[in-house]
Amino acid sequence: MRIDLHTHSICSDGSDIPEVLVDRAVAAELDVVALTDHDTVAGWDAAAAAGERLGIKVVLGIEFSTTNVDRGQHLLGYNLDPAHPAVHEILRRGATSREDRVAGLFARLDELGLSVDREYVTSLAGGIPSRKHVAAGLVKAGHVATEDEAFAQFLNEGASAYVQRYRPTIEQAISAIRDAGGVAVIAHPRDGKRGPGVSEERFAELAACGLDGIEVDHQQHSVEVREELRSIASNLGLASTGSSDYHGTRKSDHDLGCNTTEPHVAEALLGANFDGR
């Protein structure tokens, strides 16, 4: 059984509509796929309907953008109730903040002589444009050669065009997920693009706050890092998950199913029997 617990659709910063993502998950011979768009559940209904039609189990989730001490940190939540007041408030504040930030980004880039085609950037998003969509606009305008370059030079925290937005603390997000009946898994905690990564001591603190798992098998983690994270998870009694972090054409080398979660881990984490899907 092949289980991929981290993917993105056009509802955040992926390139596929939810139905197409699920169809491609079937083509990739996945048995279970989770839709975990950034800070939105807009694709849930379409993905679930596609899963029913195509005979693949779709896990409904979300990837919250949080602050972990002094760095940004993504946090995956599964099987949560998005209408729960704590989750609803994070989503509401996040959406308003994202709208304000993209307007601020456009203005900041204009000031820097780095104007982008706003209609093009907006067309890439199924909802509110993210920094990744703006990065694509910078590439199209010829200001940079790649999206990674756009982030490094202009869009990352501390860079000239960076605009802050609301992010809950990771502790607040873990609490909201758990209060809403879900489980929380820290995403790609050693991806190398956000500083040195999460320490073992910090993992222990987050486990005490209710963290349920660590995304261990991820394309941004080396073999050595995966071994270390798996050991930390085992020591703390946390689940070790694996996933693609699929974004369609928006991110290379993250093909559906390139990393997967062991069935017994997924079943214990999510309280599901996938053999009987």
Give the pLDDT mean for 44-62: 98
**Predicted local confidence at residue 125, as pLDDT:** 85
Whether 224 and 180 map to the same domain: the answer is: yes
- Domain match, 185 and 114 both: no
Q: What is the pLDDT of residues 20-44, one digit of tens each?
A: 999 999 999 999 999 999 999 999 9
Q: Rounded mean pLDDT of 224-242? A: 98
Residue 276: per-residue pLDDT: 53
Q: Which of 109, 125, 155 is the last residue of a domain?
A: 155
Mean pLDDT for 148-154 is 94
pLDDT of amino acid 127: 77
The answer to whether residues 185 and 232 belong to one domain is: yes
pLDDT (mean) for 226-252: 96
Mean pLDDT of the 215-244 span: 98
Query: Are residue 134 and residue 197 in the same domain, yes or no?
Result: no
> Regarding predicted confidence, which is higher, 81 or 123?
81
Give the count of domains, the chain.
2
Checking if the pLDDT of 257 tops 60, the result is yes
Indicate whether 86 and 105 sit together in one domain.
Answer: no
**pLDDT given for residue 136 in this prediction:** 94
Is the domain of 127 the same as that of 228?
no
**pLDDT value at 238 more than 90:** yes
In a domain, 114, yes or no: yes
Residues of the chain with pLDDT > 70, as a percent, come to: 98
The domain spanning residue 18 has which CATH number? 3.20.20.140
In this structure, is residue 41 part of a structural domain?
A: yes
Task: Look at residue 71 in the predicted model and tell me its pLDDT.
Answer: 86
Kindly state whether residues 51 and 105 are assigned to the same domain: no
The pLDDT of 210-225, averaged and rounded, is 97
Confidence of residue 273 (pLDDT cuts 50, 70, 90): confident
CA distances from 211 to 20, 38, 95, 233 (A): 31, 18, 24, 11
Specify if 96 maps to a domain. Answer: no
% the chain with pLDDT above 90: 85
Region of 201 please: left (phi>0), alpha (psi -120 to 50) or beta.
alpha
Q: What angle do CA 225, 15, 166 make, to 5 degrees?
A: 70
Is 57 within a domain?
A: yes
Quote the domain boundaries for residue 253. Answer: 3-90+166-276
Same domain, residue pair 118 and 51: no
- pLDDT at residue 194 in the model: 67
**What is d(CA 244, CA 156) in angstroms, rounded to the nearest whole number?**
23
The pLDDT assigned to 172 comes to 98
Domain final residue, candidates 131, 155, 179: 155
Question: Any idea which residue has 């802050």 for tokens?
Answer: 164
Strand-pair partners of 60: 35
Give the domain-ending residue among 155, 175, 192.
155
Stretch 93-112: mean pLDDT: 92
Residue 109 domain-assigned (yes or no): yes
Does the pLDDT at position 217 exceed 70?
yes
Q: What average pLDDT is seen over the chain?
A: 94
Does residue 275 register a pLDDT over 80? no
